[in-house]
Structure formats: structure tokens, C-alpha cells
Amino acid sequence: MTTRSMRRIRMAAVVAALAAGGAVAVAQSDSFDRLYAPIQPPKQIDLGKVELGKKLYFDPRLSKSGFISCNSCHNLSMGGTDNISTSIGDRWQKGPINAPTVLNSSLNLAQFWDGRAADLKEQAGGPIANPGEMAFTHTLAVDVLQSIPAYAREFKLIYGKDKIDIDMVTDAIAEFEKTLVTPNSRFDQYLLGNKQALTKDELAGYKLFNESGCVACHNGPNLGGNSFQKMGVVAPYKSASPGVEGRSAVTGKEIDRFTFKVPALRNVELTYPYFHDGAVWSLSEAVDVMGRLQLGKKFTPEENAQLVAFLKTLTGEQPVFQLPILPPSTEKTPRPRPFD
Amino acid sequence: MTTRSMRRIRMAAVVAALAAGGAVAVAQSDSFDRLYAPIQPPKQIDLGKVELGKKLYFDPRLSKSGFISCNSCHNLSMGGTDNISTSIGDRWQKGPINAPTVLNSSLNLAQFWDGRAADLKEQAGGPIANPGEMAFTHTLAVDVLQSIPAYAREFKLIYGKDKIDIDMVTDAIAEFEKTLVTPNSRFDQYLLGNKQALTKDELAGYKLFNESGCVACHNGPNLGGNSFQKMGVVAPYKSASPGVEGRSAVTGKEIDRFTFKVPALRNVELTYPYFHDGAVWSLSEAVDVMGRLQLGKKFTPEENAQLVAFLKTLTGEQPVFQLPILPPSTEKTPRPRPFD
């Protein structure tokens, strides 16, 4: 199969997938704009859960050590990532994979690089109990929260029960995460009708992005996150984490080997380093690798610069909120165990 | 020497020290209130430095790993501490000493438990370059900041120079830290004239605090932080960190062995675990140990509960501010090295 025919197939699949997902209308040949959509402010949000979830997101007592919170690796000061190749876990363990951004992650079709969690609520329980990450247990996490009167009252207010359970914990975290969207990027301003929002170079990059086939995988409101694709279509990717096999670990199917959820490109300027192994630090190099390995195309330096210029228009308004103040532990609270 | 005569000597020393320091007027025998003072809102603050310093305080790129920021161990969601016995440093090294709170630390006579830094500015440079903490160098920290255009511009705006230096970095962090005061605790409301602000038990605890001699060391606006005292006056303290010798490491004098800066009691409800080794987790136990080892006094359970009730009135309004958004690194930024 030639790369051109592969590209046609992928584009057809995208259009079908988008139509099925109802995210946007089917693309017209003269306009790619319809393959994208502006980031929307979150709707149907439960603000009580958001405030509780915000505290939990910042609370390192959900880890065995008392040192690692959700925000440690999905740092909201830093594009919802840790800007490290692969994350640091309990006792400084080196994680196998790059921490994806939490920003706009509610738009993704599934969570984690391999999509093993259906949604944010399911995802939130993973790191807490992962021995390589927060290294705690759901039972102990709930025990910690239950031992803190201010938390116990807040859970009771919101969920109406005296006893906290892990479903409430992950539900509140997920509700907070739904608010972590980044609207009003310059690309969104362009999509909403301000055609002056992009410079000439950025528009040239956008055109290239569409016509070279980047859009085949990076489309929809999040420019990605809505399909699984093989990393290394035209040529194999030499991963810095060769043991990470991607989607096949979930489906058990050989065809899903080295297939990953397509990373969303929103705020990509902030979410370095790139790819599931976090091996590439510059957008320019990431564009080059993607062109060669996924599209069989070597972009010229000028094209590369235009694509990078376009990608930087995807940086939206970062979520701004007050750092939460956490209620103190009590004598009944299980103590952190950072060194045993 | 009896414990009573020791107490008299210490109290006389305190009154002299307070008079010399000008913090409060000499105590009258009928009122201990004058030995304290309400927390004041910060004055003569440079807001440009505060906003820059806030970013730096939250920026893990001041560490070798890119994972540890000032806020990691002096967490402003958690009383300005990490609520761990001794802190976690680069590569999960176990620190030798408990992280003191940054809250109201501008009121202290010196910084660190052994007072080896004269002020907040001098303190701020310590952890960055400490191999057991952030494990970076001042040169590399400055290189990181200089490589990030938004930082370079902000430093130029505030300090008027094209080249960042470590003095500017620590100056800005210190200016932010000056804003981290916690006014309007119930004890402050009491000191300012609202005699109803404390309950009967809390008032009984306050009376005990004064008349038992706790005030001898824990006085002034921060209820401590304004003198160095020996840990274990009446009986030796069995430290969980016996190698930590305190002030003698700074002065070289045998008389300063196991002498430490008296920890401030403001927000003590939030700053557990207690003492320089972080070995004691409950306020009740801390009060018991202090009574026996420093005052030669065994408080009854009722007295202990009253003292703890009083100590909890020292929790003030926590600093509330927006989580800062950090400017992204560039291709020129030295990369974090968490695993090498």
C-alpha cells in the first residue's frame, strides 16, 4: 500500500468516525475547519463536587508517602503535565510512560495512552493504587479522608452518606477535571470567525496540517484524543520505552501493538516532552518525526516552522483558580509512610 | 537548681529579650497579653516581586529533577509544611530534619532550625543547591530561568537588568514569602479586644500556657521563632535524628548543642508532625513532651486538653491566591534530569 492510499483510508475513517461521534459535521472538500471545533466552557457541572475534587486533586495524602498528589504529575501550573519524559512515582520510581495532560482530557474517547480507562472517573482511581505511582490502596485513601472531619462533612453534604467510598472520591476528582478546559486559543478565535487571529505563517501551517494529513488523526475539538492509531505507520518508531506496547495490552490483539490513543494537540506548546515515551523535547522535532513515521513525508525547514507556528496557536486560556487549602489530619488519620 | 528557679530565670531572660528586640513592651504581672501581638498584614511589599516570586516558589525547574519546588516541602495547601517527619529530597533522599512552616516565617529572628540563614532571602538559596533537597546549582537555576523569555522579561521589568542572577531569584521568592502571613486567628481577635473570641477551655489553656512557662520561649507575634533554646532542658530529648545537633553546627560552641530556633506556634494545628525530628504527631503528645522536658511539669489530662484547645486558636486565615501559571521551557532550557 502506498502512503497516499493509506492516507486516503485514514481520512475516510476519520470522517466516518467524526460523523458517528457527532462531534462535527462531515467535512467539505473546500473547508477543513469543520473537522475541528472550539473548546467549549464546561456544562452541567456540579460545583460542590468541583470544589471537593479540587482539594482531592491537590491532596498528597492520597499517596502512601503523603508526598505525591494528582497535581504532582498533572501539574496545573505546567499545562497539566510534569514536563518530564516519564513520571516519578513513589520512592522515585521511573514510570514507563509520559504523563498525558489533564487539560481538556474530558474530551478524549478514553483515558491513559492505551485507553484502558473508559472515562476520567475510572482513570482517577488508577494512579492512587498503582505501586509505581502513588502506591496507596483505595481502602487506605478512603480511611485517610474519613478520618478528617472537614472532608467527612463535605462528602456527606455532596453525596448524602456518612461513609466515604472510592467511587465518591474518583467522581469528585473527575468533576473537577471536567472544568480543566482551555478555551479561547487563537485557533478557537479563528474557528469562531476572527480570520485575523492567525498570522500568515500560522495559516500556512494550518493549511499544511490539513493537506499533509496531520488532520487524519489530530481532529475534533481536542485535535486528537478521539481515536487509537499505530505509532510508526510508514516506518517503525524507535521507542525509548520499547516494553510499552500500547493498546494491545488492553485488547490482547496483535493488531493493536504499538497503537496508542492519539495525543490531543491543544496546549502542545506546554506539554513537552512529546510522544508516549517523552523522548522528544522540541515541537520542531516532534513534527519532523510525525511527518516521516506517520505520513512518509519530510517537511522542509520552512514547512516545519509553519506547522510549529500553527501548533502554538492551540494554547488556550489556562484554568485559573485559588490554590485549595486542605483540612488537617487528625490523630486518627493513617500517617504517611514515605520511607517504609 | 529547681525547676521553679529555672523558670524564673528563663522568664526574666524573655522579658529582657523582648524589651531589647522592641517587639512588645515589658510584661506587667497582671497581664501576659503584652507578650504577644496579632499577626499584621505585610507592609512595604513590592507586588511585582511577589508575583514573580510566587511563580518561582511553585516552579520545579529550580530543582535538578524538575519535580521538586519550594512548595513541595513548604506546601501552601498544608500549612506551609509537608506534614512528613523529615522531608523527601532529590531521588527520594530522606532529609535529616522536619520542614518548618513558611507561614509567618518573615517574623523569625533567623531561618532554618539552626538559624544558619539570616533571613528569607538567604534561606531561599539553600534548598536549591542542597544535594539532598533540590540538588541543583544556582548557576543552572539561573540558566533555566534565563532561557525562558517570559521569565527573562519579568526579571528585566522588576530588576532592570538583562541578565538574571541568583540574588534576584532569592529576593523575589523572599518577597512572596513575606506575604505568607496568617492574620485574624481567634487568638488575634482576642488580643485585639474581642474577649469572647476564646471559649472558657481555650482561655484556661491560655492561662496555663502563660503561668506554666510555655510563654518563656513561645512569645512575640509568632509565639516563638524569636530565640534559640535547648531542646531538653530538664530531661534529655531522645531524638529520632540524633545526628542533628542544632545551633552548635553554626556557632561551633558546645553550649549550643541541641539548641534550636524555637518553633513558632502559629497554625500549629496544621504543621504536624512536631519538633525538629518530626517524631511527634499529635498536639497532645507534643504538649506533654514539652511540659516534661522543658518545664519539668506533667500536665494533667485536663490541663493538656486546655492547652491543646488554646493552641488551636492560633490557626489564622491561610494565604489565598491563584495557582500561578508558569511560562513554558524552550529548546534552550536545560532539561530536567530526574534519573541521572
Cell numbers for A331:
490523630
Asked if A329 is an interface residue toward chain B (Cβ–Cβ < 8 A), one would say: yes
Name which of B64, B77, B85 to mutate to probe chain A: the one with the most chain A Cβ atoms within 10 A of its Cβ: B77
φ, ψ of residue B89 to 5 degrees: the values are -110, -170
Name which of B326, B332, B337, B340 to mutate to probe chain A: the one with the most chain A Cβ atoms within 10 A of its Cβ: B326
Residue in B closest to A58 by C-alpha? B77
Q: Is the pLDDT of residue A187 over 50?
A: yes
Q: Which residues of A are annotated as a binding site for heme c?
A: 70, 73-74, 214, 217-218, 290
> Which chain A residues touch B135 with a CB distance below 8 Å?
none
> Which chain B residues touch A338 with a CB distance below 8 Å?
84, 88, 92, 94
Q: Which amino acid is at B138?
A: H
Q: How far is B103 from chain A (nearest CA, A)?
A: 13
Confidence (pLDDT) at A8: 47
Average per-residue pLDDT in chain A? 93
CATH class, domain B3-35+184-314, is mainly alpha
Asked if B335 is an interface residue toward chain A (Cβ–Cβ < 8 A), one would say: yes
Cell numbers for A234:
510508514
CATH of B47-178, one of 3.40.50.80, 1.10.760.10, 1.20.120.550, 1.10.8.60: 1.10.760.10
Is the separation of the CB atoms in A105 and A127 below 8 Å? no
Q: Is the pLDDT of residue B30 over 50?
A: no
Confidence (pLDDT) at A30: 45
Mean pLDDT along residues A241-269:
96
Asked if B320 is an interface residue toward chain A (Cβ–Cβ < 8 A), one would say: yes
Q: Give me the residue from B65, B92, B282 closest to A331, CB to CB.
A: B282
pLDDT tens-digit series, residues B179-198? 999 999 999 999 999 999 99
> Which chain B residues touch A78 with a CB distance below 8 Å?
60, 326, 328
Q: Please give the Cα distance from A127 to A120 (Å, whole number).
A: 12
* Closest-CA residue to A265 (of A304, A234, A220): A220
> Which chain A residues touch B83 with a CB distance below 8 Å?
61, 66, 329, 336
Q: Compute the half-sphere exposure of residue A258: CA atoms within 13 Å on the CB side of its CA.
A: 15
Confidence (pLDDT) at A330: 97
CATH code 1.10.760.10 region(s) in chain A: 3-35+184-314, 47-178
Q: Is the pLDDT of residue A324 over 50?
A: yes
- The single residue listed with the C-alpha cell 488551636 is B312
pLDDT tens-digit series, residues A102-138? 999 999 999 999 999 999 999 999 999 999 999 999 9
Confidence (pLDDT) at B24: 42
Confidence (pLDDT) at B285: 98
Asked if B323 is an interface residue toward chain A (Cβ–Cβ < 8 A), one would say: yes
φ, ψ of residue A2 to 5 degrees: the values are -75, 160
Stated length of chain A = 340
Q: Is the pLDDT of residue B306 over 50?
A: yes
Confidence (pLDDT) at A11: 54
pLDDT tens-digit series, residues A200-216? 999 999 999 999 999 99
Confidence (pLDDT) at A63: 98
Say yes or no for a CB contact (<8 Å) between A77 and B269: no
Say yes or no for a CB contact (<8 Å) between A324 and B77: yes
> Percent of chain A, pLDDT > 90?
90
Is the separation of the CB atoms in B78 and B70 below 8 Å? no
pLDDT tens-digit series, residues A55-83? 999 999 999 999 999 999 999 999 999 99
A133 annotated active-site = yes
Which of the four pLDDT bands, split at 50, 70 and 90, describes residue A31?
confident
Which of the four pLDDT bands, split at 50, 70 and 90, describes residue B60?
very high
Is the separation of the CB atoms in A225 and A263 below 8 Å? yes
Confidence (pLDDT) at B2: 45
Is the separation of the CB atoms in B190 and B31 below 8 Å? no
Mean pLDDT along residues A93-97:
96
Asked if A284 is an interface residue toward chain B (Cβ–Cβ < 8 A), one would say: yes
Say yes or no for a CB contact (<8 Å) between A84 and B323: no
Q: Please give the Cα distance from A109 to B181 (Å, whole number).
A: 45
Sign of CA dihedral A14, A16, A18, A24: positive
Which of the four pLDDT bands, split at 50, 70 and 90, describes residue B242?
confident
φ, ψ of residue B88 to 5 degrees: the values are -95, 125
Asked if A332 is an interface residue toward chain B (Cβ–Cβ < 8 A), one would say: no
Asked if B94 is an interface residue toward chain A (Cβ–Cβ < 8 A), one would say: yes
Q: Please give the Cα distance from B103 to B97 (Å, whole number).
A: 18
Asked if B58 is an interface residue toward chain A (Cβ–Cβ < 8 A), one would say: yes
Name which of B56, B67, B267, B304 to mutate to probe chain A: the one with the most chain A Cβ atoms within 10 A of its Cβ: B67
Q: Please give the Cα distance from B87 to B81 (Å, whole number).
A: 9
Q: Please give the Cα distance from B93 to A92 (Å, whole number).
A: 9
Q: Is the pLDDT of residue B69 over 80?
A: yes
Is B73 marked within a binding site?
A: yes
Q: Is the pLDDT of residue A224 over 70?
A: yes
pLDDT tens-digit series, residues A6-25? 444 455 555 444 444 444 44
Say yes or no for a CB contact (<8 Å) between B338 and A282: no
Mean pLDDT along residues A218-233:
97
Mean pLDDT along residues A163-178:
98
Q: Is the pLDDT of residue B199 over 50?
A: yes
Average per-residue pLDDT in chain B? 93
Q: Give me the residue from B58, B284, B318 closest to A325, CB to CB.
A: B318
